[in-house]
Amino acid sequence: MTLFLIVLFVALVFEYINGFHDTANAIATVVSTKVLTPRQAIVWAAFWNLVGAFTGSAVAKTISSGLVDAHAVTMITIICALLSAIVWDLVTWWVGLPSSSSHALIGGLCGAAFATAANNWSVLIWVASDAKGGHVGLWPKVLLPMITSPVVGFIGGALLMFTITALFRRMTPRLINLIFGKAQLVSAGFMGYSHGSNDAQKTMGIITLALFTGTQSGAFDHLPEWAGFLRVPVFKEMPTWVIVSCALTMAAGTAAGGWRIIKTMGHKMVRLQPVHGFAAETTAAAVIHFASAHGIPLSTTHVISTSIMGVGASKRLSAVKWGIVGKIVWAWVLTLPVTGLLGWGFMRTAQILGAH
């Protein structure tokens, strides 16, 4: 029980960090276009993150049971996975790089589970069929979307920007800014909602995995009857208290802000006007919303970043500062392997210390 409380605490710390680390996803464009002040944007994003976190549970189910063999996971495994993600999030936040909290958590979980299973690759679920005839596993739910979603974000952002330009080409810049300054309030809210519906569920899945682990190991057998809400014998719907705690924690983290990453995404990559912010946010939010509905733990960071790039490239390729983009791409490429190694290293350390 003590180990579970530690897992719960560390999981909520990760959720809080995820909130301020990924705040930029929802508000970087609306701040950089000066449609909202930073304080207004944070409140707006926090509200819609909270609303989005209460919708659906498909992504949480993928994290809790669709990526690694849940029966091979221990409480220590989960703690090591969370610590790996927290370390990577803090490092990339400190240097101002918009890396993926989702991939950091998944990499840490895979690395820690691999070490728990004595370096047995079978603990990782690469491709498997679910009860509805669909597919789960690292390839269809993580690796393939990791490749395709940034491409879709880039192309979608460029196409939407081309379309808007064609439709509003006869209007004056002042009128366009007036129209899309208002429209960007909607797109920023949609982005915040989509972010909450995807990212908050990842920690819900981790906590539910811990509840399942505790139930299967018998750690909760001695608890009184009123504590039955902790027992999760099978993976079904997420417990309500898990949803509420994760939603509120992410909203609190979002309210804390993440100015280093906001500066990179909203100012350093491309110079944005309200119409560009609207196009980028709308494209990214649509992609993320689709992924959430299909249980894909998508990197919201990847999608909004490439949508911004696509919008910028629609003006001219030189409008995108490709040097900054290169650094961001390196952060994306390194996230899974680095956090996987961190998770493995933390777990091996725990095993060695436990043996002595």
pLDDT tens readout for residues 173-232: 899 999 999 999 999 999 989 988 998 889 999 999 999 898 888 888 888 877 778 888
The DSSP symbol for 141 reads I
pLDDT tens readout for residues 72-84: 899 999 999 999 9
SS3 of residue 94 by DSSP:
helix
Q: Which residues contact 253 (CB under 8 A, 6 or more apart)?
A: 15, 16, 17, 18, 19, 20, 21, 23
CA 284 to chain centre: 13
Contact 15, 242 (CB under 8 A): no
Name the pairing type of β-strands 135-136 and 128-129: antiparallel
Question: Between residues 290 and 237, which one has the greater pLDDT?
Answer: 290
Q: What is the reported pTM?
A: 0.88
Residue 260 has pLDDT above 70, yes or no: no
pLDDT tens readout for residues 123-167: 999 998 876 777 889 999 999 999 899 999 999 999 999 999 999
- Number of folded domains that form the chain: 1
Residue with tokens 């701040």: 31
Give the structural domain span for 127.
2-355
pLDDT over 70 for what percent of the chain? 90
